[in-house]
Amino acid sequence: MNNQSVQISNLCLMTGNANPELAKKIANHIGVEIFDTFVGRFNNGETQVMISDSIRGKDIFIVQPTSQPVNDNLMDLLVMADACKRASAHSITAVVPYYAYARQDRKTRGREPISAKLVANLMVAAGMTRVLTVDLHAGQIQGFFDIPVDHLKAAPVLADYFKKCNFGDDLVVVSPDLGGVTRARDLADYLKSPIAIIEKRRPRPGEAEVMNIIGDVDGKVALMVDDIVDTAGSLCEGAKALRKLGAKKVIAACTHAVLSKNAVEKINNSDIEQLVITDTIPLPPEKQSDRIKVLTMADSIGDVIIQIQSHRSVSQLFK
């Protein structure tokens, strides 16, 4: 048995209740079984975790995005990590495809928390020795941790899909705001397309008003790209503005599909012909739509897990 086989055999993949389907896909890609772990509730609502067999000396990978219900899923992750730490696991990697509270990464007015930092502190205190996440809302959140953070981007997965659509020179990648320009540029580089930028303001939280569009979208297929689609207000208003300025088609790509309240209804009634998302957050039946296409991040996450476990460079995967 070679050294890599020994390392992979020491890998123990667990899942909470947030996205077990994604965990199964990751397990299939790696070629391991999901470790038998019970994550449930006591009668009073507290999280209960029971690990069936010994994990002493094992390298644990816990797949648990902190999506809705956010606080329950976050607490499940923390309690699972604590259980693994007290069971003498060798290492504990939190595989958190969607990192909750990431939009609270700074103080924008007085007496506000920086919740993204608090969540990082909780993960470290619970016993995590590494974090693997996808498309953080703000890349600097990596600096909130005193442990290694592997920040995986969805751009290659999204780009592979849109390359097959054969939009050619008609495609322009659009950032829905000034803060998302780097994200738009990453995808545009993969697709070898120009970019445009929507300038907007937020009169109130969860609402957006388009002020201006920088770049040429006339006669183009406009591909809006963002990390999170929540209420879908920004995307729908952006799509309306792009169509008014002559875009012949508007599509959108978002890594994390929160889709709160009536977001799906908004999308179905908007100028967005297709919304492409990933499975970092599970899409329940009531949120499914003919306009929504789901791509999986399982293979990409699985490849990173293999690199971590084999003590090889993760950045090599992205070159």
C-alpha span between 291 and 105 (Å, rounded): 31
What is the CA angle 49-104-102, rounded to 5? 55
Sheet with 249-257, edge to edge strand ranges: 209-214, 195-201, 171-175, 221-229, 249-257, 272-278, 292-295
Sorted by where each starts, the structural domains of the chain and their CATH numbers stand as 3-153+298-318 (3.40.50.2020), 155-295 (3.40.50.2020)
Q: How confident is the model at residue 1 (pLDDT cuts 50, 70, 90)?
A: very low
Q: What is the pLDDT of residues 166-225, one digit of tens each?
A: 999 999 999 998 889 999 999 999 999 999 999 876 666 656 666 789 999 999 999 999
pLDDT in tens, 131-157: 999 999 999 999 999 999 999 999 999
Record the tokens describing residue 185, joined without a space. Answer: 């540029």
The predicted-structure confidence for 43-93, as pLDDT tens digits, reads as follows 999 999 999 999 999 999 999 999 999 999 999 999 999 999 999 999 999
Confidence of residue 13 (pLDDT cuts 50, 70, 90): very high
pLDDT above 60 for 253: yes
* pLDDT tens digits along 101-131: 999 999 988 999 999 999 999 999 999 999 9
200: annotated active-site residue: yes
Catalytic residue among 25, 58, 153, 200: 200
